[in-house]
C-alpha cells in the first residue's frame, strides 16, 4: 500500500509577489502578461478568483471581469529559487519526488521513516516548514495513490490538508463528482450527466467494455478511477517528450508570408532551448502550431520531415492552408525520443 502526498503551493506566483510587496495583499492580483499586448494570466490570488479570474485566461478578459485587477509581470528567476528551496525540504523526507511544475509535486513516502512513518505527519511538517522558511502557504493531500492525493490537495485550499485513509477510499470516491476526475473536461462531464452520471458511484454499475464503447480508451480509465484505482508510480526521472517555443503577436499576422517571416526568431529560441538538453535525447520529428484570429488552432507534425528552416517553412505553409486566416500565435518545436545517440547528431536545424 503506497503512501502518496501531493503538495501544491497556493497561488504560487501571486503568493510570492504578495510576500515580497505587502502593499499587494488584500486586493485582486494576477501575475501575467500585459492586457494590451494579448497577455495571459499565469496565476492569480483568491481575491481575483472571487471575480472569476483564472489562470490561462486572457489578461484583457480578466480585466473586464475585475476592473480593479492589478496584473504584474512574472519574475521567473525568483519563483524558481523558491521552488528549489521547497524541493530541498521535500528531499528531507523521501528521494521519490515527482515535480509536476514549479509549484506542485508528488512524494512517495511509503518507506520513509520520518515522523514515525506517518504520511500525515510528514505532510503537516512540510507545510509548516515551507511557511516558516518561505512565508507562503501550501496545501497537501495524502492518499494511497496519485489520483486521490491530487484531489485531496485541492479539497481544503488554501492552506489546507486532506487525508484519505485506505479504508475511506470507497466511500470518498463513491460521492465524488465526476467533474473532479482528472481528464474529465466540460464535454465529457456533459456526456456523463446526459447519461445520468453525476458522481462516481453512478459509474459502478457500468461494465468496463460499455464505458470503452461510450468513451473510447478513456472509458477504461473511468472504470478504474470510479473505484479509486490508480497504480501509477511516482516517477523520479521524467523524460521530456518535446521541446517547443511559441509567441502570441500583438497584431495578427495577416498572411502566410508574414508567418514565414516570423519563423527565424522562433527557431533561434528553439535552438537555444535544445542546446540546454543533455545527450540522452534525439529529435524524432518537427512540429508547428498555428492559432488563428478566431482562436481555432492546428498542429502539424511529420516524421521524416527535415529539421531545418526550409522544413519548418513547408510545415508552416501546410498548416496555414488549413485555416487561411490571420494568425495570432505561432509555436515551433520538436518531438523527442530517448536514445543513446546524442541529440546533436540529428540536429540540422541550425
For the chain, list the domains and their CATH numbers.
4-10+77-165 (3.30.70.270), 13-74 (3.40.1170.60), 170-225 (1.10.150.20), 242-345 (3.30.1490.100)
pLDDT value of residue 278: 63
pLDDT value of residue 343: 44
pLDDT value of residue 124: 97
How far is 188 from 173, CA to CA, in rounded Å?
18
pLDDT value of residue 185: 83
- Name the nearest CA neighbour of 8 among 181, 169, 161: 161
Does 314 qualify as catalytic in the annotation?
no
Alpha helices in 100-252 (DSSP H): 119-134, 146-153, 169-174, 186-194, 208-215, 218-225
Chain-centroid distance, C-alpha 114? 30
pLDDT value of residue 241: 79
Q: pLDDT of the chain along its 350 residues, tens only? A: 899 999 999 999 999 999 999 999 999 999 998 887 778 899 999 999 999 999 888 899 999 999 999 999 999 889 989 999 999 999 999 999 999 989 999 999 999 999 999 999 999 999 999 999 999 999 999 999 999 999 999 999 999 999 999 999 999 999 999 988 888 888 888 999 999 999 999 999 999 999 999 888 889 999 999 999 999 999 887 667 788 888 888 889 999 999 999 999 999 888 887 877 766 677 888 999 999 988 888 999 988 888 889 999 999 999 999 999 999 999 999 988 765 444 443 444 54
pLDDT value of residue 54: 92
- The verdict on whether residue 10 carries a ligand-binding annotation is no
pLDDT value of residue 248: 82
Q: Please, are residues 205 and 199 in contact by the beta-carbon 8 Å criterion?
A: no
Torsions phi, psi of 228, nearest 5? 70, 25
- The verdict on whether residue 92 carries a ligand-binding annotation is no
The greatest distance separating any two alpha carbons of the chain, rounded to the nearest whole angstrom, comes to 65
pLDDT value of residue 347: 45
- C-alpha distances out from residue 328 to 41, 60, 248, Å: 17, 15, 6
pLDDT value of residue 38: 74
Give the list of residues 6+ apart from residue 258 with CB closer than 8 angstroms, or none: 327
pLDDT value of residue 134: 93
- The pTM of the full predicted model, rounded to 2 decimals, is 0.72
- Name the nearest CA neighbour of 94 among 163, 3, 165: 3
Contacts 24+ apart (CB under 8 A), 314-319: 315/286, 315/287, 315/288, 316/256, 316/259, 316/260, 316/263, 316/288, 316/290, 317/256, 317/260, 319/288, 319/289, 319/290
- Annotated catalytic residue, options 104, 168, 179, 237: 104
pLDDT value of residue 187: 85
Amino acid at each position: 500500500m503506497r503512501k502518496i502526498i501531493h503538495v501544491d503551493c497556493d497561488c504560487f506566483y501571486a503568493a510570492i509577489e504578495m510576500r515580497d510587496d505587502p502593499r499587494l495583499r488584500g486586493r485582486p492580483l494576477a501575475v501575467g502578461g500585459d492586457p494590451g499586448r494579448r497577455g495571459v494570466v499565469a496565476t492569480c490570488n483568491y481575491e481575483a478568483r472571487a471575480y472569476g479570474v483564472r489562470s490561462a485566461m486572457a489578461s484583457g478578459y480578466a480585466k473586464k471581469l475585475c476592473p480593479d485587477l492589478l496584473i504584474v509581470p512574472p519574475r521567473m528567476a525568483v519563483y524558481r529559487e523558491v521552488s528549489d528551496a521547497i524541493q530541498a525540504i521535500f528531499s528531507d523526507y523521501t528521494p521519490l519526488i515527482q515535480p509536476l511544475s514549479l509549484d506542485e509535486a508528488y512524494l512517495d513516502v511509503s518507506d520513509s521513516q520520518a515522523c514515525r512513518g506517518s504520511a500525515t505527519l510528514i505532510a503537516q511538517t512540510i507545510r509548516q516548514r515551507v511557511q516558516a522558511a518561505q512565508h507562503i502557504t501550501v496545501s497537501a493531500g495524502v492518499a494511497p495513490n496519485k489520483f486521490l492525493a491530487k484531489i485531496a490537495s485541492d479539497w481544503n485550499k488554501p492552506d489546507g490538508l486532506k487525508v484519505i485513509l485506505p479504508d475511506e477510499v470507497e466511500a470518498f470516491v463513491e460521492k465524488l463528482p465526476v467533474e473532479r476526475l482528472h481528464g474529465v473536461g466540460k464535454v465529457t462531464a456533459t456526456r456523463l450527466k446526459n447519461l445520468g452520471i453525476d458522481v462516481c458511484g453512478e459509474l459502478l454499475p457500468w461494465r468496463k467494455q460499455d464505458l470503452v464503447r461510450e468513451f473510447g480508451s478513456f472509458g477504461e480509465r473511468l472504470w478504474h478511477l470510479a473505484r479509486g484505482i490508480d497504480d501509477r508510480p511516482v516517477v523520479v526521472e521524467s523524460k521530456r517528450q518535446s521541446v517547443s517555443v511559441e509567441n502570441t503577436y500583438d497584431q495578427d499576422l495577416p498572411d502566410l508570408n508574414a508567418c514565414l517571416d516570423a519563423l527565424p526568431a522562433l527557431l533561434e529560441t528553439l535552438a537555444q532551448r535544445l542546446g540546454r538538453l543533455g545527450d540522452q535525447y534525439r529529435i524524432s520529428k518537427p512540429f508547428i502550431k498555428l492559432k488563428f484570429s478566431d482562436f481555432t488552432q492546428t498542429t502539424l507534425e511529420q516524421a521524416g520531415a527535415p529539421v531545418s528552416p526550409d522544413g519548418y517553412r513547408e510545415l508552416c505553409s501546410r498548416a496555414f492552408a488549413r485555416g487561411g486566416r490571420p494568425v495570432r500565435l505561432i509555436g515551433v518545436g520538436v518531438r523527442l525520443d530517448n536514445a543513446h545517440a546524442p541529440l546533436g547528431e540529428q540536429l540540422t536545424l541550425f
